[in-house]
Amino acid sequence: MKKFDIPVHYRSSVISELKAKRKLEDPRKQDFSPTEVEIGNIKFLIARHFGFCYGVENAIEIAYKTLNDNPDRRIFLLSEMIHNPFVNEDLNSHGIKFIMDNYGNQFVDWNELTSNDIVIIPAFGTTLEIENILIQKKIDTKTYNTTCPFVEKVWNRAAQIGNENYTIIIHGKAKHEETKATFSHASKNSKAVIIKDIKEAEVLSKIILNDVDKNYFYTFFENKFSHGFDINKDLEKIGVVNQTTMLASETQAIADLLKQTMIKKYGEENLKNHFADTRDTLCYATNDNQSSAIALSNENADFAFVVGGYNSSNTSHLVELLEKSFPTYFISDASKIKSRDEILHFDIHNQAETKSINYLPNKNNFTIAITSGASCPDSIVDEVINRIVEILN
């Protein structure tokens, strides 16, 4: 796999050495068990796969090369490069301005942009509508486009089945930049619907089977279906794709449920005419990181730290996987570990940072699980490990 030129302050020599050792021992990724590292009275269980993925490193390399190659031009990012505050603040400190936040709230009016400006499209991609605005302003949308190739893979698969008149069911978060981009691209070729989870898939299943009033679709999925959607014909042929950072197990469960729904309605002999076999469209890094988190959850740890941006979808899913097995603290960086008695961490269920007191078990020796999201620099994980050693050892 290609090696990227990214700033040295994002890397950790220690973690790079651990990753290189595991890759040498297990080049085909058949062993997802964690790496054990003992420091004094602490045993760290470090996930087999974590941290920057291909798409993130590609985006960061392009962003910094753009800065170096264009010292006299204004450089903008459509929104956050990736969902990590450290990386976004670093880019901002080098003079890159953000046009909008990750919810679409505008910081820079489109009228302020000129054809001489550079606009970097983030790793999540962007909508066709925004791309057309940039094209109309004669702003280059190709050279500085950092859209992850695995996101583009989803778009291509959606286009393929869309051209065969299948409606695209997108498993994703409707407000997430990637899902908005996928919805926009999918709607170009076909009808599309966004569903958040298995519960919404169950509602869609009931609508398809006429177990509830069909018109309920328009209120339940308000603002999450494409223009001109006709409930009487646009759910006769469907295919499932996803936001690449969703839980793999849930995407599979949604696809299985909707497949069984179409069998029930049309018969197994007619399935191919009503359900597209899209297989799994999660990216390799999401799969690897989630498989590694599952392997971590099977260990006998006292607690876990998951490191990453609080608005990172793929990181929050790692928390979901680990918190079933032991106390799990989702932190953005080492500064959140205040002392042996106090920690600030993000509660994914209430969507707020919270404080926990006396969070450590009353013992002298600790086993601690560690992982991070695909947008988290290894250097931050390194700092977290050092902070834990500092307060416990």
| Closest to 305 (Cα-Cα) out of 249, 246, 382, 247 | 382
- The token pair at 84 is 């990590």
Q: One of 57, 177, 178, 200 is an active-site residue; which one?
A: 178
- Residue 200 is a catalytic residue: no
3-state SS, the chain, equals CCCCCCCHHHCCHHHHHHHHHHHHHCCCCCCCCCEEEEECCEEEEECCCCCCCHHHHHHHHHHHHHHHHCCCCCEEECCCCCCCHHHHHHHHHCCCEECECCCCCECCCHHHCCCCCEEEECCCCCCHHHHHHHHHCCCCCCCCECCCHHHHHHHHHHHHHHCCCCEEEEECCCCCHHHHHHHHHHHHHCCEEEECCHHHHHHHHHHHCCCCCCCHHHHHCCCCECCCCCCCCCCCCEEEEECCCCCHHHHHHHHHHHHHHHHHHHCHHHHHHCEECCCCCCCHHHHHHHHHHHHHHCCCCCEEEEECCCCCHHHHHHHHHHCCCCCEEEECCHHHECCCCEEEEEECCCCEEEEEECCCCCCCCEEEEEEECCCCCHHHHHHHHHHHHHHHC
Annotated catalytic residues are 178
